[in-house]
């Protein structure tokens, strides 16, 4: 299974990532359908991208999580 990092949040139209229904999500974040038919949904990196209202959908990354944690993580 692919490792999911603990990340901090950034926003912006310049993120430029897209993914299609049924493919693995390339990054943690809020994804919105290309046709804006739904509110954004949070998808974890490595998860399968969901279907939109009309079935197969192209998803655009709207708000992502990148970089090191902003605070220390507890010891395991």
5 or 69, greater pLDDT: 69
Question: By mean pLDDT, which of 14-18, 47-51, 69-73 is the weakest?
Answer: 69-73
**Nearest residue to 61 via CA among 18, 23, 20, 10:** 18
Residue-wise pLDDT for 29-40, tens only, equals 899 999 999 999
User: Which pLDDT score is estimated for 21?
Assistant: 94
Q: What is the DSSP letter of 45?
A: T
Mean per-residue pLDDT over the chain, rounded: 77
User: Which pLDDT score is estimated for 7?
Assistant: 45
User: Which pLDDT score is estimated for 76?
Assistant: 64
Q: What is the DSSP letter of 46?
A: T
């Amino acid at each position: 299974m692919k490792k999911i990092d603990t990340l901090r949040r950034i926003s912006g139209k310049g993120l430029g990532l897209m993914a299609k229904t049924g493919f693995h999500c390339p990054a943690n974040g809020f994804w919105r359908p290309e046709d804006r038919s739904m509110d954004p949904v949070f998808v974890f990196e490595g998860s399968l991208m969901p279907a939109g209202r009309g079935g197969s959908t192209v998803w655009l990354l709207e708000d992502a999580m990148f970089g090191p944690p902003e605070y220390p993580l507890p010891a395991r």
